[in-house]
Amino acid sequence: MKILVTGSAGFIGSHLTKYLLARGDEVIGLDNLNDYYDVNLKLARLEQFEGQASFRFVKLDLADRQGIADLFESEKFDKVVNLAAQAGVRYSLINPHAYIDSNIQGFVNILEGCRHNNIKHLVYASSSSVYGANTAMPFSVHDNVDHPLSLYAASKKSNELMAHTYSHLYGLPTTGLRFFTVYGPWGRPDMAMFLFAKAILAGEPIQVFNYGKMQRDFTYIDDIVEGVVRVLDRVAASNPDWSAEHPDPASSQAPCRIYNIGNNQPVELMYLIETLERALEKKAIKEMLPIQPGDVPETFADVDALVRDVGFKPETSIEHGVGRFVEWYRDFYGTDDCSI
């Protein structure tokens, strides 16, 4: 297949691109290479694909309406995986306009490209953040998610609504994936695992929010990619049992689906730190802080729908995943202080 992967220089996008190329797909990778975090890391991810005839990189912003339209028209993709977005819950408190430009305007440009070019399946990144104020655990795709706690979460919920509309109006098969705290080699420098490793090795304090009582359903990158590919290969279909009297948020009469991809096993933040300390063989200096605006105290993925429909359940343990991350981190940055 010929597949467009947006955000191909990103954490998940680069891993997905590697997987698709290895199995023989042709991949067009799109990224705007913005400076939200270290561009050199993004370029290093892309270097993995240099010289591969079945990969081509396009530097383009999702918000470039004409550029996206021209790309779709010229390339004639079979399927699209949209992973490009302005990420980060806390950053959305500082720069809200970035989320509208990329996650809303950019996403409608992707939808329009799919609509006008007979795309067989659009798979796009949503987020566990959409569960917002929900407290019923585990988070289920069948739950109502109308109370986001950050603009980032609201933008991802908006993507789900927009995708459903295009599925309903134009018959475009769409599947949204709610990722739960992804980590692993080539990870994002703005996320806890990366920040903690850098600070611990440099002998600097780490910020431990909610006094370490935070729980996250940490999900290893290989599990995320396996889930994405399995979903991509199973084109979204309508649910014949869907009822307007008792509407299921995870499906529709239109060819539209929503899945969680999470490890289904929350880990307390303090245990993550202890696991990281063991892998790094160095103790952390902890600065205990209250929970931040926009954060939720716990995430926990119900993955029953994913298991039922594509036969996959993430199972990588936090101990194994952290070990693999630390191996990559030491190798990539070379020295124990790991300054970037």
Q: Establish whether 271 is a catalytic residue.
A: no
Place of tokens 């300054």: 339
Catalytic residue of the set 152, 183, 220, 329:
152
- Which residue from 178, 176, 175 is spatially nearest to 139, judged by alpha carbons? 178
* 186 phi/psi in degrees, rounded to 5: 70, 20
> DSSP letters of 93-121?
GT-HHHHIIIIIIHHHHHHHHHHHTT-SE
The length of the chain is 340
What residues are paired with 127 via a beta bridge? 179
- Which residue from 133, 82, 151 is spatially nearest to 299, judged by alpha carbons? 133
Whether 139 contacts 301, CB under 8 Å: yes
- One-letter amino acid of 314: P
Q: Which helix (H) or strand (E) holds 91?
A: none
Q: What is the CA angle 199-261-317, rounded to 5?
A: 55
What residues are paired with 58 via a beta bridge? 30
* 240 phi/psi in degrees, rounded to 5: -65, -20
Taking CA atoms, 247 is separated from 168, 250, 252, in Å, by: 15, 9, 8
Residues involved in catalysis: 152
